[in-house]
Amino acid sequence: MYSETFVRTHAEHLPGKVTVVYGETFPTHTVDGVWLADVFRKRNIAAQFTQLLCKILPAFIANKIPSKLKGYPFDEALNEVAFAHFLTQNKIDVVLAEFFLKGVIVQKVCTKLGVPLVVHTHGGGDIVGVTDIQWYGPMYPDFFRNVSYVIVVDSFSAAQIIALGLPKEKLVTVGYGIDLNLFTQTSPAANPPHFFGIGRLVDKKAPLLSVLAFAKVFKNYPE
C-alpha cells in the first residue's frame, strides 16, 4: 500500500528516522526493492546451509523440509522471520502499521520482540469488511491486547473498532490534515468556476456518482 499518497506523506513528515517496508499480506520489501527474505538468508548461516542441503538431498527427503527452512521466497513463515530479523537488525523502536489488517498481521512479531505497535486505520472500509472479519477475527483478541494504540480518522471508525473489542484507552482519533503550503488563497468570485474530483477509479470511491453529479450541475448552470 506504499502507493497510497497519505502513506507516503506519513513517511515523509514523521519525525525521527523512518524506514519503510511494504508488502501484500506481510511486509516483504523495502522501498528500494530489497527483499527482506533475501537479506535474512544471506545473513543466516543455517538458512544457507539448508538451501545447499536441499540441492544435495534426494527430492523425496528435501520436500519434507519446511519451506521456512528452505527459504522459499513466497512462504509466509519465511517472510515473518525475515521481518523480525529486519526489525532487530535496524533497531526499530516502534512500528507504525498503515491499515488495520496490516497491524493485525504484524502484531505477533512485534509483541514477540517487544517492539511497540501503533496502527493507523483509514476509514470504515478498512475495518468493516465482512470477509476480513471472518478470516482475521480469531486474531483480534491478541491484537487488541497487545497493540499500543490504534489511530482512526473519524467517529464512525472509532465506534466500529470499539465494537470489535479495542479498549477505549488505546483509541486515538486524528482527522486527516492538509498541507496548507501547497495552496494559495484566492477569490472564487474573481475566477471562472473550476471543479475537480479526487479518488481512485474503484467501486468504493463511486466515480460514476461524481460524473452524474457534475452532469446535473452543468445542466442547471451551463456556464
Q: Given this model, what pLDDT does residue 45 score?
A: 66
Distances (CA, A) of 134 to 45, 137, 176, 204, 211: 39, 5, 29, 20, 35
| pLDDT(142) > 80 | yes
Q: Given this model, what pLDDT does residue 44 score?
A: 65
What is the mean predicted confidence (pLDDT) over 103-123? 94
Q: Given this model, what pLDDT does residue 170 score?
A: 98
User: Average pLDDT of the chain?
Assistant: 84
| pLDDT(108) > 90 | yes
Q: Provide the whole-model pTM.
A: 0.76
Q: How far apart are CA 83 and CA 109, in angstroms?
A: 8
What is the mean predicted confidence (pLDDT) over 131-159? 91
Residue 29, helix vs strand vs coil: strand
Please write the tens of the pLDDT for every residue from 51-90: 666 667 676 676 676 665 555 545 677 788 889 999 999 9
Order of strands across the sheet that contains 149-152: 95-98, 117-120, 149-152, 171-173
Torsion of CA 187, 191, 194, 198, to 10 degrees: -30
Distances (CA, A) of 62 to 41, 55, 58, 134: 18, 8, 6, 35
Residue type present at position 30: T
Please write the tens of the pLDDT for every residue from 163-192: 999 999 999 999 888 888 888 888 878 888
Query: Are the C-beta atoms of 120 and 102 separated by less than 8 Å?
Result: no
Torsion of CA 111, 116, 119, 120, to 10 degrees: -170
Q: How far apart are CA 72 and CA 70, in angstroms?
A: 6
Q: Given this model, what pLDDT does residue 65 score?
A: 66
Which strand (E) or helix (H) includes residue 149? Answer: strand 149-152
What is the mean predicted confidence (pLDDT) over 124-152? 87
Q: What share of the chain has pLDDT > 70, as a percent? A: 84
Which strand (E) or helix (H) includes residue 81? Answer: helix 76-89
**Phi and psi at residue 179, in whole multiples of 5°?**
-80, 100
